[in-house]
Amino acid sequence: MVNPPYPVLDDLIEMIGQAGFHLAEIEASEGAAGNISVCMRWPVDPRNRFPVEEEFILPQAVPELAGATFIVSGSGRRLRELRQDPAVHLACLTVNEGGETAKLFTAYNRRFERVTSEFNSHLAVHYDQMTATDTNFHAVVHAQPLHLTYLSHIPRYQDEKYLNQHLLRWQPETIINLPEGIGFIPFMLPGSQDLMAANVTCLREHRIVIWSKHGVMARSDISVKRAADRVEYAETAAKYEYLNLQIGEIGEGLSPEEVRTICSTFNVEQNIF
């Protein structure tokens, strides 16, 4: 939930640019991999930045989001370049009454044909979270962090309990920032209905989910940078785990007792350790 005064369109665009650039800095977005979207319920007039207006059929009906505005990265755009001239890489969508269509706003010199091909997954998560929690803001980030994605190729890390007990043991902050742990979805075809449905369900329980052998999706109802932070916390945990594997697993990590003490001291509810 974002409290007034609400960030203006330019501020949101700038934060998307910074989040995208940082995801590239942490090796979570090679080439044109990864995509970002935010949804807000307060009134936004995108026409100054995005003067070209056309009708857009939404991948699913979202009647409760009528009047809400999305900012979405364009297909094939590089997250590392979003912050330079963001309007050419981003689109704005305002949901029409009934929620089946939207007005798509873009810049005259936009550098993409369509919005990200993962928009169906983004929209489904925004819709599910925003109707379940009544938040007025929601951000979703898809990225492909190297170490997390690599670990998702190793069978024993495909077990959610094993994954979390091994990744959340390296720094006290990890359990505080990801108290529900990292969700895990087995490999599914990118952009498929199956991935979309599993992703929505998994993100009800977790703030970040691994799409096995592909990447992650993270969400936040506070800011797009907070969603990107969740990718970074999880990826840092995976880096520690990778380091430990490489060196013959001599690191002991925080013990379950130590993690439980951290959680009771900082009032973190968790059921991983």
Q: Can you give the binding site for Zn ion, defined by CB under 5 A?
A: 215
Q: How far is the CB of 263 from Zn ion (least distance, A)?
A: 32
Least CB distance from residue 165 to Zn ion, whole Å? Answer: 26
Instruction: Closer to Zn ion by CB, 181 or 215: give it.
Output: 215
Closest CA to 88 of 127, 58, 121, 49: 49
158 or 199: whose CB is closer to Zn ion? 199
Residue 186 vs 256, nearer CB to Zn ion: 186
At its nearest, how many Å lie between Zn ion and the CB of residue 118?
7
Smallest distance from Zn ion to CB 45, Å: 32
Nearer residue to Zn ion within complex by CB, 20 or 215: 215
Cβ nearer to Zn ion, comparing 32 with 197: 32
Nearer Cβ to Zn ion, position 175 or 218?
218
Give whichever of 179 and 215 is closer to Zn ion, judged by the CB atom.
215
Whole-number Å distance between alpha carbons of 39 and 12: 10
In angstroms, give the least distance from the CB of 142 to Zn ion.
6
Nearest-CB residue for Zn ion: 215
Q: At its nearest, how many Å lie between Zn ion and the CB of residue 9?
A: 26
CA–CA distance from 222 to each of 19, 169, 180, 192, 210 (Å)?
Answer: 13, 26, 17, 28, 21
CB of 215 to Zn ion, least distance (A): 5
Nearest CA among 168, 179, 189, 188 for reference residue 238 = 168
Report, in angstroms and rounded to the nearest whole number, the Rg of the chain calculated over CA atoms. 19
The string of DSSP letters for the chain reads --PSSPPPHHHHHHHHHHHHHHHHHTTS--TT--EEEEEE-S---GGGT--EEEEEE-SS--GGGTT-EEEEEBTT--GGGTTSSGGGTEEEEEEPTTSSEEEEEE-TT-S-SSB-TTHHHHHHHHHHHHHHH--SEEEEEEE--HHHHHHTTSGGGGSHHHHHHHHTTS-HHHHHH-TT--EEE----TT-HHHHHHHHHHHHH-SEEEETTTEEEEEESS-HHHHHHHHHHHHHHHHHHHHHHHTTS------HHHHHHHHHHTT---S--
* Nearer Cβ to Zn ion (82/102): 82
Shortest Å distance, C-beta 199 to Zn ion: 12
